[in-house]
Structure 1
Amino acid sequence: MNSDPSAQTGVAWPVVALIIGAGVISACQLGKAPLALKVVQEELQLGLGTASWLISAFAVIGAVAGAPLGLAVDRIGPRRMAVLSLLMMGAGSALGAFSNDAKILLATRVLEGLGFLGLIVAAPTLIAAVASDRIRDRAMALWAIFMPTGLMLVLLAAPLMQTITWRGFWLLNAAILITYAALLGWAVPLARRASQRHSSIHRDIKQALAAPGPWVLGGVFALFSIIFFAVFGFLPSLLTDRLGVSDEAASMLSAMAVAASGVGNIVCAQLLARGAQSIRLLYVSFGTMMVCSIGVFSAPLAGSAIYALCLVFTFASGFVPVVIFKNAPLYAPHNALVGATLGFAMQGNNIGLLIGPAVAGGVAAAYGWSAVSLLIVACFPVVALLLVAFQKLSVQKERSALFS
């Protein structure tokens, strides 16, 4: 008999907050590279192309390994994977602090990237497994705040990095990650075992590939990322060009836009908790993003109006990740494949992260900023098809739950 009551009744908010905190710390590892890019580039004498891979490494790993890592989470358990992932990021950050060669530093970023991907798949899977029934849906929705919160924290830590150097900042992050891994392993109970945990890996892969849910969530996340990063990836440059502000002011305005995305996460979580339908929130989010992107790139507006549209765009964008994370357990083929479903979603997210800035940058360079809005509008027929599929699956799941 299991004597651990948390395994029977589920954990409460403090443990969920601890798991979300692991995501926040992990997001800091994503954000620290752009923050230190110029200093690292000068110190190691890196070309811009080589230096950019210090940022892109996370996206490449996510685009390739999202679904496989999701299956790994389901096999070894989300708590073990979360702890292992934090340790991997800690090791990568510590080794990176002593790197004097571009190839070694890039290798440490690959190690960090694997840990980052493992954590952001394992943590929501862990929340779904250990949170009490009373708070599970809201906890899954609130998980989405990890990214904007972490990026905001690392931006606020910029003066600290200037004081202790980028190497000291890497070592500080390593210490935090390793300490947090120990705390997470001690405070969070083992997830309840699914009956299929030891089923054939080939059967798991076949079920994950055959089920429509993971593909729909991955597709929605991919299109969202293409649209979001087509705008946000060039936001500082766009603000400099269209508003005529300095680089420092553009960075500060971009940070405020990140905060708006976090506010959108929280508002969406509250709306879902009060009974709002996921599909309606997706329609509102994508529709608002499209209208705002047209205004940002094409409309002859004053600088203040353009920036206001940027804030509305990022606020509305905060709805999509919340809806995806909240619905992942529902759209999984079964309870033992929640990790694989989240892995599909994160793989789609990272594919979009790779495609969006690259295509938008090429279009802007060839035809100007106004052409980027046409690119975004061209995405929306595909978005509409995916949302119809999302709605159809939602209806099917509701009917299955009603008659089960």
Structure 2
Amino acid sequence: MTHSFRVLLQVVLLWAAGLGAATQFAKIAVPFAEVARLYPDNADAIGWLLSIISLIGAALGALSGMITGRVGPSGLLISGLVLGGAISLFQASEPSFYIMMASRLVEGLSHLVIVVAAPTLIAQITLGRTRNVAMVLWSTFFGVAFALNAWIGLPIVEQFGLPAYFALHGILMLVIAVLIGLCRIRVDLAQSSVGDWGLSALIKAHVQTYRSPFISAPGIGWFFYTLTFVSLLAILPGRLPEELSAPIAALMPLAGIVLSWVAVPLLLNVMSSIAVVNLGFGLGIAAIAAAFLGLPLPVVCIWLFAVLGLVQGGSFAAVPDLNETAEAQALSYGAIAQMGNAGNLLGTPVLLTVLWRTDEAGMFGAVVVFYVAAMAAHLWLARRRRAGIR
């Protein structure tokens, strides 16, 4: 087996781990009606089965980056996959609501480890253009997983039920863990002790992460991306004519994946990853401006989500672009995980509140403010990097 083929196989397996992590969200979100029917007496709290993973990520994302960088991403990734697989197999027993909720809380730890450790490994085993393509591939894991769960998962639920669906996810997670273990992926880490695991470690992780304009930049931009991505994906299809709602909702994330795949590797040859991110935000503002000028909303939806693919691919490529060591990359991916989960938690309530208190124009205006703030934050962080601040 040649070295190039071995690296390709490893990247694909690590991406598959990401698909498993994203399915930890999708397995509740996609067959949500079936999950709600499983717990009819807890309808008012059923949404927590989905969002509790985001709560874990928002609280512990930065700390997970520090632990991954210092302990080692390979072992942690396999542990996260095994834990996630075991939890899915347990969930196949259809436990009571509060036990299911507790299992989802633990599953949040599994998810967090995977989405920090896997891209850290990808960034370490690839170089140059190969790394750019690999990081763009990684950036598609969430959208691809949701699409696969809709196309393949829902028919499984309809034919065999939720227990089979959860069990299949658990088995696949365990198989991926075994295959990654057999690959024996190793990376060089900075020699440092892990130290205290208490409150002081949590504070130190946040200080080390967010004081650095190199480590924090991808995550800070990612916050503004996630603040609007899931929320607009939920809100915009409902503003369309009924016959267009479902097809546009399916095309929106697909447009971002396609443009990210096609354009980001090419753009990274001529501009920095952060410039690609800001280009995506700027074109997003242009899409909203076109809506104010009368461009039909379905076209605006596709345009907006297509150019957000630049933010998606550019943000993940920015981590190894700005950070050379595995420890710094792990911290940066931890910041992406933390900021992304925070954005997912806040985005829908914030934009719905703006929409209800104003109108559609007010909501789009808020999105423009978020994107301007994202571009300003990236320009400010770039200035600090040029000043030599580490």
Query: What TM-score results when the alignment is normalised by the length of structure 1?
Result: 0.86
Q: 1:12 to 1:331 in 2, by over 3 A?
A: same
The match for 1:90 is 85
Query: Is the 1:86–1:119 Cα contact (8 Å) retained in structure 2?
Result: yes
The match for 1:224 is 225
Whether 1:244 aligns to 2:242 is yes
Q: 1:41 to 1:19 in 2, by over 3 A?
A: same
The match for 2:120 is 125
In structure 2, the gaps of 5 or more residues are none
Whether 1:68 aligns to 2:63 is yes
CA displacement 1:12-56 (0-9 Å, x = unmatched): 222111111211222122112112211121232144431111221
In structure 1, the gaps of 5 or more residues are none
Opposite residue 279 of structure 1, the aligned amino acid is I
Q: 1:32 to 1:253 in 2, by over 3 A?
A: farther
Whether 1:208 aligns to 2:209 is yes
Q: What secondary structure does 2:45 align onto?
A: helix
CA displacement 1:343-364 (0-9 Å, x = unmatched): 0122111111111111111122
Query: What TM-score results when the alignment is normalised by the length of structure 2?
Result: 0.88
Query: Is the 1:12–1:135 Cα contact (8 Å) retained in structure 2?
Result: no
The match for 1:309 is 300
Cα distance, 1:171 vs structure 2: 0.8
Whether 1:195 aligns to 2:195 is no
The match for 2:109 is 114
Q: State the superposition RMSD in angstroms.
A: 2.8
Query: Is the 1:128–1:136 Cα contact (8 Å) retained in structure 2?
Result: yes
Opposite residue 244 of structure 1, the aligned amino acid is E
* Percent of pairs with identical residues: 23
- Large movers: runs of 4+ above 4 Å: 199-204, 298-301, 393-397
Quote the Cα distance in structure 2 between the aligned partners of 1:325 and 1:113: 21
The match for 1:387 is 378
Query: Is the 2:190–2:325 Cα contact (8 Å) retained in structure 1?
Result: no
Deviates more, 1:48-57 or 1:150-159: 48-57
CA displacement 1:363-395 (0-9 Å, x = unmatched): 222323232012112224422321212433565
Q: 1:112 to 1:43 in 2, by over 3 A?
A: same
Q: 1:49 to 1:216 in 2, by over 3 A?
A: farther
Q: 1:106 to 1:47 in 2, by over 3 A?
A: same
Cα distance, 1:266 vs structure 2: 0.8
Whether 1:362 aligns to 2:353 is yes
CA displacement 1:167-193 (0-9 Å, x = unmatched): 21011111111111111111242222x
Opposite residue 17 of structure 1, the aligned amino acid is V
Q: What secondary structure does 2:215 align onto?
A: helix
Cα distance, 1:290 vs structure 2: 2.1
Whether 1:171 aligns to 2:167 is yes
Cα distance, 1:230 vs structure 2: 3.5
2:26 is aligned, of 16, 28, 31, to 31
Whether 1:352 aligns to 2:365 is no
Quote the Cα distance in structure 2 between the aligned partners of 1:126 and 1:28: 20
Quote the Cα distance in structure 2 between the aligned partners of 1:46 and 1:253: 34
Q: 1:326 to 1:189 in 2, by over 3 A?
A: same
Opposite residue 320 of structure 2, the aligned amino acid is P
Quote the Cα distance in structure 2 between the aligned partners of 1:152 and 1:384: 30
Quote the Cα distance in structure 1 between the aligned partners of 2:102 and 2:18: 22
Q: What secondary structure does 1:189 align onto?
A: coil
The match for 2:13 is 18
Quote the Cα distance in structure 1 between the aligned partners of 2:268 and 2:23: 28
Quote the Cα distance in structure 2 between the aligned partners of 1:287 and 1:359: 21
2:49 is aligned, of 25, 50, 54, to 54
Q: What secondary structure does 1:198 align onto?
A: coil
Query: Is the 1:260–1:315 Cα contact (8 Å) retained in structure 2?
Result: yes
Opposite residue 187 of structure 2, the aligned amino acid is A
CA displacement 1:228-282 (0-9 Å, x = unmatched): 233123233233xxx233xxx6334312222112112212432245333323322
Q: 1:391 to 1:271 in 2, by over 3 A?
A: farther
Opposite residue 361 of structure 2, the aligned amino acid is S
CA displacement 1:72-130 (0-9 Å, x = unmatched): 11122111111111112112211212134211111222222221121111001011222
Query: Is the 2:226–2:344 Cα contact (8 Å) retained in structure 1?
Result: yes
Q: What secondary structure does 1:175 align onto?
A: helix
Equivalence map 1:244-283=2 (5 Å) = 244-245=242-243, 250-283=245-278
Quote the Cα distance in structure 1 between the aligned partners of 2:12 and 2:165: 24
Whether 1:184 aligns to 2:180 is yes
1:147 is aligned, of 136, 142, 145, to 142
2:96 is aligned, of 92, 101, 120, to 101
Query: Is the 2:218–2:316 Cα contact (8 Å) retained in structure 1?
Result: no
Cα distance, 1:211 vs structure 2: 1.9
Deviates more, 1:75-84 or 1:276-285: 276-285
Cα distance, 1:134 vs structure 2: 6.3
Q: What secondary structure does 1:12 align onto?
A: helix
Query: Is the 1:86–1:115 Cα contact (8 Å) retained in structure 2?
Result: yes
CA displacement 1:185-207 (0-9 Å, x = unmatched): 11242222x23343656697354
Whether 1:159 aligns to 2:160 is no
Aligned residues: 382
Quote the Cα distance in structure 2 between the aligned partners of 1:279 and 1:123: 21
